[in-house]
Amino acid sequence: MTASRLTGRRVTGGPVGAGSPAEVTLEDGTTVMVKHGDGPGAVRAEAAGLRWLGAARAVRVPEVLGHDEWSLVSERVPTGAADPGAATRFGRALAALHAAGAPAFGAAPPDGPVEAYIGRAPMRNVRGDDWPSWYAEHRVLPYLRSAVDAGTVRLGEAGVIEAVCERLPALAGPAEPPARLHGDLWQGNVLWGADGEVRVIDPAAHGGHRETDLAMLRLFGCPHLEQVLDGYEETSPLADGWRDRVGAHQLFPLLVHAVLFGRGYAEQALSAARATLAG
């Protein structure tokens, strides 16, 4: 079995849960999660991302216990209720994670592939020195093109998103160094631990702008988000006007979701683009 092969320990129970990930119990009583990748390089990218995030000793991540090209075994995190105090601590830890930095915008984690994934969508980790041009070229426009090709974004609608990309140098706020991003920080990837501490899972880790992680938390809803933001700003205040830039940072995840899940997310991306241009 996969868990036994990758950990060197005999499986005595499970799997619990259909599909991937699934819970498996090992001979020492440890319960682990076994996940199968969505495509070539996906597991390698996830394992490298978890290790890179964990190396910052800021936001906690499940320990990677073993992986190969197609499967990953990691520590299982017992979960509990979302808590305001844990949210504040998570905000502080997220600020410290971002401050750990990255070599460049688009930099992959050490040992991580250039051809990575965000969820089930391919994502290329191509380096750039300038955030607005890198974000437009490698995070917004590739997914816009895919959405237009699929008919999810109509050809006549694409111009509003392209206009945001053209105006990003003026819209992006003060220049910041590359942050160490989780990269897919929606609420489903935030685990509220039974021990009162937050862990994050399923990263699409890369070097990026720290406001992108925060915008994704807001986009899909995060319990006690204002406490998260309070803890973040206590540790690393955000540049003035950051709330006005949320829509621009949300274009990337919204277009990824448009490619994966259809028209509803395309309409949200178009609304975010129009609001950003309206200022």
- The residue ranges of every structural domain in the chain are 78-278
Which residues are known to be catalytic? Answer: 184
Instruction: Band the pLDDT of 9: cuts 50, 70, 90.
Output: confident
Contacts for 128 with CB less than 8 Å, ≥ 6 apart: 104, 105, 106, 134, 137, 138
CATH pick for 78-278 out of 3.10.105.10, 3.90.1200.10, 3.40.309.10, 3.40.50.1820:
3.90.1200.10
What is the reported pTM? 0.94
Torsion of CA 266, 272, 276, 279, to 10 degrees: 140
Let me know: does 71 contact 209? Beta carbons within 8 Å: no
pLDDT band at residue 39, thresholds of 50, 70 and 90?
A: confident
- Cβ 3 vs Cβ 16: under 8 Å: no
Cβ density class 39-69: b for 16+ within 10 Å, e for less: eebbbbbbbbbbbbbbebebbbbbebbbbee
Question: Helix, strand, coil shares of the chain as percentages rounded to 5?
Answer: 45, 20, 35
35: nearest Cα among 77, 70, 63, 1: 70
Show Cβ contacts of residue 140 under 8 Å, excluding neighbours closer than 6 positions.
Answer: 161, 164, 165, 251, 252, 255
Dump pLDDT digits (tens) for 56-75. Answer: 999 999 999 998 888 999 99
The mean pLDDT of 225-249, rounded to a whole number, is 97
The letter for the amino acid at 167 is R
Residue found by looking up tokens 């119990």 in the block: 25
Lowest mean pLDDT, pick from 9-23, 104-118, 200-214, 219-233: 9-23
- Distance between CA atoms of residues 275 and 114, nearest Å: 32
Q: Do residues 22 and 36 touch, judged by C-beta distance below 8 A?
A: no
Question: For the segment 129-183, what is each residue's pLDDT rounded down to a tens digit?
Answer: 999 999 999 999 999 999 999 999 998 999 999 999 999 999 999 999 999 999 9
Amino acid in position 164: V
- Please state, in angstroms and rounded to a whole number, the distance separating the CA atoms of residues 33 and 22: 6
